[in-house]
Amino acid sequence: MIKPSLPDNEEQRLLALQRYQILDTAKERSFEDLVTIATALCGTHMGAVTLIDRDRQWFKARQALDATETSRDISFCGHAILQPDQVMVVEDAQQDPRFFDNPVVVNDPHIRFYAGAPLLSFDGLPLGTLCVFDANPGHLRPDQAQGLAALSRQVSLVMELRRYAYEIQQHMRDRAWYEQRLSEYNALLEQQNADLAEQSRTDPLTGLPNRRAMSLALEAAVTDADGQPRQTAVALLDIDHFKNVNDLYGHATGDHVLAELSRLLRAHFAGQGLAARYGGEEFVVLMPDTPLGTAELQCDFLRMAVADLPLGIPLTISIGVAAHRHGDGVDQTLARADAALYRAKHEGRNRVVRAD
């Protein structure tokens, strides 16, 4: 058995993990659901959300697994976090020199197949994995690997929202602190946006690219460097009943809602797409190299995350998503996404509808 080595940034990684205050906490439905989806996607009997502590791996969520933690020395996930940008796949642990004599391979639960997608902190540090495993050898298709990686990003997002909600709850008791923090946040946002706004490509309120910048990005994203078409998805999203937010709570609250939604969009699509403010309470998301089904799933996770934002007011969004068609102009793709968004509103809002 080969013990997993330590990442070069191990101490920094452990500090990041501690900031989430999640180790040894109770089960939570949001994490359990994502493990259920991952095992169904990959066709395995077992799965887990694991977090790699200094000397152990601890399971925040698990399926068909009795243990709540194991030694880090025998963990598959300890190896997986060493390559945080990849899904680690072991098709047959008995044929792998790292694991053939591992206690969890030789004894219960007799792991043969394993696939783990690293969970990354907001600043890119590997904290653990979303992993699936089975007592029989297996194989992971490319679309399953992409889906598992997408689900791991959702686990990371749930962790980030959980941390953010905890921080807000802690400091809401001190109203003066909260108002000062909000003022500093807005001042920093305005300062960061000042230079970009002068270039007319960034929305000054949210800090996201504006409609003009998104149009240019979409034009560039639908083909590769050789001019060949790429599989690109586009989503239009709209805040449901946003006028009521401004009317009932004031425009300052409305602006705060827009800013927090923009922050969530940046975190949700970091490194995997581009979000922009399209106008008013409407936003557009560009997802290059993304099949329509995956884009629809990503948008549905975003919709659920928006409903969980700790804003103190109810908030939902409606989304229309479309795949770019070879031969269509970008305006046609946006028009199809807009038509799907209209259907989402017409069918009752707080839903994702994809274009025909």
Domains within the chain, CATH numbers bracketed: 10-156 (3.30.450.40), 173-354 (3.30.70.270)
pLDDT at 174: 67
Q: Give, as one character, the DSSP assignment of residue 204.
A: T
The 10s digit of each residue's pLDDT in 187-209 is 777 765 655 444 457 777 888 88
DSSP string, 77-94: HHHHTTSTTS-EEES-GG
**Residue 8 reports pLDDT greater than 70:** yes
Q: What share of the chain is helix, strand, coil (3-state, %, to 5)?
A: 45, 20, 35
Instruction: Answer yes or no: 281 catalytic.
Output: yes
What is the sign, positive or negative, of the torsion defined by CA atoms of 306, 17, 25, 29?
positive
Mean pLDDT on 22-41: 96
| Residue 287, C-beta contacts closer than 8 angstroms, at least 6 positions apart | 232, 233, 234, 235, 269, 272, 273, 294, 295, 298
302-341 as b/e, with b when 16 or more CB fall inside 10 Å?
bbbbbeebebeeebebbbbbbbbeeeeebeebbebbbbbb
CA pair distance 231, 247, nearest whole angstrom: 41
The label of the residue with tokens 């994203």 reads 221
pLDDT at 194: 58
CA pair distance 296, 174, nearest whole angstrom: 40
**Residue 110 reports pLDDT greater than 70:** yes
pLDDT at 352: 95
Ramachandran assignment for 21, one of left (phi > 0), alpha (psi -120 to 50 degrees), beta (any other): left
Q: How many CA atoms lie within 13 A of 270 on its CB side?
A: 16
**Residue 165 reports pLDDT greater than 90:** no
Name the least confident of 33-42, 93-102, 125-134, 331-340. Answer: 331-340
pLDDT at 215: 79
pLDDT at 232: 87
pLDDT at 191: 65
Ramachandran assignment for 51, one of left (phi > 0), alpha (psi -120 to 50 degrees), beta (any other): beta
What are the Cα distances from residue 75, in Å, to 58, 89, 254? 10, 14, 47
CA pair distance 315, 319, nearest whole angstrom: 14
Instruction: Tell me the pLDDT of the chain averaged across its residues.
Output: 90
CA pair distance 129, 81, nearest whole angstrom: 7
Dump strand ranges (E) for the chain.
46-52, 56-63, 69-71, 88-90, 113-120, 126-134, 233-239, 274-279, 282-287, 317-323, 352-354
Is residue 35 classed exposed, middle or buried when 0-12, 13-18 and 19+ CB atoms within 10 A define those classes?
buried
pLDDT at 200: 57
Name the least confident of 89-93, 181-185, 288-292. Answer: 181-185
Cβ-contact 49, 155 below 8 angstroms: yes
Mean pLDDT on 206-221: 81
CA pair distance 29, 25, nearest whole angstrom: 12
pLDDT at 196: 44
Higher-confidence residue: 279 or 81? 81
Mean pLDDT on 270-277: 82
CA pair distance 162, 241, nearest whole angstrom: 26
Give kind and range of the element (H or E) at residue 149: helix 142-171
DSSP strand pairing (317-323 vs 352-354): parallel
With cut-offs at 50, 70 and 90, classify the pLDDT of residue 17: very high
Its pTM stands at 0.51
The label of the residue with tokens 């919709």 reads 303
pLDDT at 221: 76
Longest dimension (CA), the chain: 65
Percent of the chain surpassing pLDDT 90? 69
pLDDT at 226: 67
Mean pLDDT on 271-282: 86
Per the structure block, which two tokens stand in for 67? 């243990």
Name the least confident of 23-27, 78-82, 330-334. Answer: 330-334
| Residue 76, C-beta contacts closer than 8 angstroms, at least 6 positions apart | 88, 90, 93, 99, 104, 111, 114, 116, 131, 133
Cβ-contact 268, 302 below 8 angstroms: yes
Single out the catalytic residue among 32, 281, 282, 296. Answer: 281
What are the Cα distances from residue 165, in Å, to 161, 260, 312? 6, 12, 11
Mean pLDDT on 316-331: 89
**Residue 355 reports pLDDT greater than 50:** yes
